């Protein structure tokens, strides 16, 4: 019994020190990590639809994983940004889509997250591809996919078209 007790105590002492050290490091880095996440999201929102401030809200639309309202400095709503999950080749591509409420067009899109094939599907992040969506209304139906990354790029295109359709419809119905 004595030996087992010694073993248990040794392990426990080490574990306690470990837990204490980790708790300290966690306390110190947690705020920075959170700030990084918020900063990353805010930067992304600004890229897609520049505005004074944003407000997250709940939108019960299939394609909208997260939704944000964009406001100018007079607190008028200028647009909406929707985070839409697009089923890609081998991952779920998170597309951030900005929509201007007044002109009812897609302002810009940004790929927030993806795990598509590096060098192939990952080309959906290229400016040439993304640039197609800048300031586009619903009339434009033809977008170019990327050679060698058909599934990834089509997933993004479909997602943008569907989401824009839904959101603009809701805007026209005055619902948002």
Partner 1 sequence: MLDIFAIFFAAVVTENFVFYRFLGLCPFLAMSNKTRTAVGMGIAVTFVLVISNAITWLLQHFVLDKLGLPFLQYASFILVIASLVQFIEMYMHKYQAALYKAFGIYLPLITTNCVVLGLVLLTILKSYNFLEALIFAIGTGIGYTLALIIMSGIRERLDLADVPEALKGIPLALIITGLLALAFGGFVGMIK
Partner 2 sequence: MSALKDLLNGIWKQNPTFRIILGMCPALAVTNAAINGLTMGLATLFVLLASGLFVSLIRNLIPSKIRIPCYIVIIATFVTIADYFLAAYYPAIHEVLGIYVPLIVVNCIILGRMEAFAGKNPIKNSLADAFGMGFGFTWALVLLGAIREFLGFGAIFGFKILGSWYPQMVVMKLPTGAFITLGLLIALMNIVRKQRAEAACHAHEGGDKPC
- Whole-number Å distance between alpha carbons of 131 and 125: 10
End-to-end Cα, the chain, rounded Å: 70
Could you give the CA distance from residue 38 to residue 46 in angstroms, rounded to a whole number? 12
> Is 25 or 138 the residue whose CB approaches partner 1 more closely?
25
CB of 4 to partner 1, least distance (A): 14
Choose one: 39-47, 50-58, 74-82, 84-92; the region binding partner 1 (CB under 8 A): 84-92
Give residues with Cβ within 8 angstroms of 156, minimum separation 6.
Answer: 86, 88, 93, 95, 109, 111, 124, 129
Q: Which of 41, 44, 112, 120 binds partner 2 (CB under 8 A)?
A: 120
Q: How far is CA 91 from the centre of its chain?
A: 14
Q: Point out which residues pair with 96 in neighbouring strands.
A: 83, 110
Complex with partner 1: residue 10 or 15, whichever CB lies closer: 15
- Kindly provide the residue ranges of all beta strands, DSSP E only, lying in 53-147, ordered along the sequence: 53-57, 66-71, 77-87, 92-100, 105-113
> Bridge partners of 82?
67, 97
Give me the 156-175 binding string for partner 2, x by CB under 8 A, dash otherwise.
Answer: --------------------
Among residues 9 and 138, whose Cβ is nearest to partner 2?
9
The verdict on 102 binding partner 2 (CB under 8 A) reads: no
Q: Which two tokens stand for residue 33?
A: 């990590």
Tell me which residues in 31-50 interact with partner 2 (CB under 8 A). Answer: 32-33, 36, 40
Contacting residues toward partner 1, per CB under 8 A: 15, 18-19, 22-23, 25-26, 87, 89-90, 117, 151
Contacting residues toward partner 2, per CB under 8 A: 3, 6-7, 10-11, 14-15, 18, 21-22, 25-26, 29-30, 32-33, 36, 40, 117-120
């Amino acid at each position: 019994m004595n030996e087992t007790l010694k073993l248990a105590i040794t392990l426990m002492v080490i574990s306690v020190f470990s837990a204490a050290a980790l708790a300290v490091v966690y306390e110190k880095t947690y705020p920075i990590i959170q700030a990084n996440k918020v900063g990353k999201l805010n930067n992304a929102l600004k890229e897609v639809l520049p505005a004074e401030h944003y407000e997250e809200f709940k939108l019960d639309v299939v394609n909208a994983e997260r939704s944000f309202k964009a406001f100018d400095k007079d607190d008028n709503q200028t647009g909406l940004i929707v985070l839409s999950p697009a089923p890609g080749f081998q991952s779920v591509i998170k597309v951030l889509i900005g929509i201007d409420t007044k002109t009812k067009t897609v302002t810009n899109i940004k790929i927030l997250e993806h795990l598509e094939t590096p060098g192939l599907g990952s080309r959906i992040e290229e400016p040439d591809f993304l640039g197609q969506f800048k300031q586009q209304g619903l009339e434009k139906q033809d977008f170019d996919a990327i050679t060698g990354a058909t599934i990834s790029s089509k997933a993004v295109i479909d997602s943008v078209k569907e989401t824009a359709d839904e959101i603009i419809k809701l805007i026209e119905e005055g619902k948002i």
